[in-house]
Amino acid sequence: MTNGGSKTERHFLIVGHGGFLNRGCEAILDTTFRLLSEWFEGPTFTVVSFDWANDRRYGKKWGGVTFRNVSPEKWRSPHWYVSTARRLLHVPAGDWRAAHRHLRGEYRKADAVLSVGGDNYTTDYSAFPGYYLDVLKYARELGSKGVIWAATVGPFDDAEVRRKVVEVLKDTALITARERLTVEYLESLGIAENVRAVADPAFLLEPLPSRAALSYRVGEGADWLGISASSMLWRYISDESGSDRSKVLVQLIDWAVRELGLSVALVPHVVDTRPGAPLGRNDYLFLSQIAERVQRRDKVVLVEPSLRVGEMKHIISRCRFFIGSRTHSTISALSSGVPTISLSYSIKSRGINQDVVGNQDFVLGTGELSFEGLREMFCKLREREEEIRSNLQNRVPSVKEKARKNAQYLGELLEVEASEKWGERRDT
């Protein structure tokens, strides 16, 4: 129930979702649905997906969830739709609001528009996050509250990009920032009143020990090292020789098996295995190429891409150690108390480790990535294993409480108190 006669049925429009073939996106949505269903009484959701053709099949998994395409469903190419809409509506180039016109009704009926994705408001993937800024502009124009949901923001080195970002973010109804480093960066830009410190909702994801997950004997009969990485990692490494830097992982696996007696579980976390999918969206192909090159193939298990994110978390939780470049794979490991090395190309890895572990001792930047450097850090991880496990056991519960704060701050924005269900859960 809600207080003060407030509206009990809330509808949320979720924009920025990349698709469930990115298991990190699945983790964010799954935990967001569950979290808001605890706080609000019977909320409903419309999710705008960049991979609607695949995602629409999962609508029945959650009650009250509808999926819409990023472009009108009858248009095959969102870029074709946007360029045509711009011409017909006389919208200037660079203004992405035209991409949302077919969703006008969804924006109008939403109590809040949640811009998800984790790192869309950075320059990790593009020079300017114009599309995601215009999500917030369009929400404001149509009378809804724009929210940046559990995100990393920045940094923006280009002065003009930074100016445009600040202009929009200052007028955003709410920004829940998933790392303290993001909060501090926003404060340096003069953005503070609408910012709240939280943790990524994926810290609340429950492992799923399904029959498929249990078929992998990870954690049994040997000590296991889990690895989640993709070819995308190498795009952030400057290597004038043009050599294949993925050999770093092959070398590490061979060493860990030979010298430490470890078994290795390769866990793909972005699993677009469709024909023509970019290699950076097909961790399974990349990791299979790694597996084929190791000396002891019998000591390596490659997890099938069909497993859902909870099943993958169960496998990760059974590992003794973990190395990951996919952010949400490392969140699965850290939230399970597994000593973890984060292969980092952005602020998000540093910020998450600082908040969860209390330091950045086991964050390895892409510029430092070599077999020798990774081996040295892994040896330190093993030496400090018990300390790290104890530290995570003590700190992760408070991180999960910070993840729940996302719902609380959204409720405060909409002037809604916790539902009775939330109160009952909190009292137990």
Which one, of 93, 116, 90, lies nearest residue 24 by Cα? Answer: 116
In terms of Cα–Cα distance, which of 353, 267, 352 is closest to 316? 267
- pLDDT of 7 reads 42
**Statement: residue 345 has pLDDT above 80:** no
* pTM (two decimals): 0.89
Mean pLDDT of 58-66: 82
Amino acid at 340: T
Which of 26-30, 71-75, 232-236, 412-416 has the highest mean predicted lDDT (pLDDT)?
Answer: 26-30
Q: Choose the weakest-confidence range: 66-80, 315-329, 335-349.
A: 66-80
User: Are 11-204+398-427 and 211-395 equal in CATH topology?
Assistant: yes
Q: Tell me the range of 223-237, 305-319, 359-373 where mean pLDDT is highest.
A: 305-319
Residue 82 has pLDDT above 70, yes or no: no
Structure-block tokens of residue 374: 């990774």
Higher pLDDT, 119 or 303: 303
The chain-wide mean pLDDT, for the chain, equals: 87
Residue 99: pLDDT band (50, 70, 90) is: low
Domain ranges of the chain: 11-204+398-427, 211-395
Determine the CATH number of domain 211-395: 3.40.50.2000
The confidence band for 361, taking pLDDT boundaries of 50, 70 and 90, is very high
pLDDT given at position 95: 55
Higher pLDDT, 129 or 263: 263
Determine what percent of the chain is predicted with pLDDT higher than 70.
Answer: 86
Specify the CATH number of the domain 11-204+398-427: 3.40.50.2000
Of 4, 3, 37, nearest to 204 by C-alpha is: 37
- Spatial neighbors of 31 by CB under 8 A, at least 6 apart, are 201, 202, 203, 204, 205, 403
At residue 278, the pLDDT reads: 83
In sequence order, the β-bridge partners of residue 271 are 282
Of 186-200, 223-237, 301-315, where does mean pLDDT reach its minimum? Answer: 223-237
Number of Cβ within 10 Å of residue 240's Cβ equals 5
d(CA 92, CA 416): 39
- 180 to each of 28, 206, 351, 413, how far by Cα in Å? 19, 24, 6, 21
Question: Which of 69-73, 80-84, 163-167, 274-278 is predicted least confidently?
Answer: 80-84
pLDDT mean over 211-215 = 97
C-alpha–C-alpha distance, residues 13 and 353, integer Å:
30
Please determine, for residue 234, whether its predicted confidence score (pLDDT) is greater than 70.
no
The per-residue pLDDT for range 23-58, each reduced to its tens digit, is 999 999 999 999 999 999 999 999 999 999 899 887
Return the minimum-mean-pLDDT range out of 51-55, 124-128, 287-291.
124-128
Residue 331: band (very low, low, confident or very high) from pLDDT cuts 50, 70, 90: very high
Q: What is the pLDDT at residue 242?
A: 47
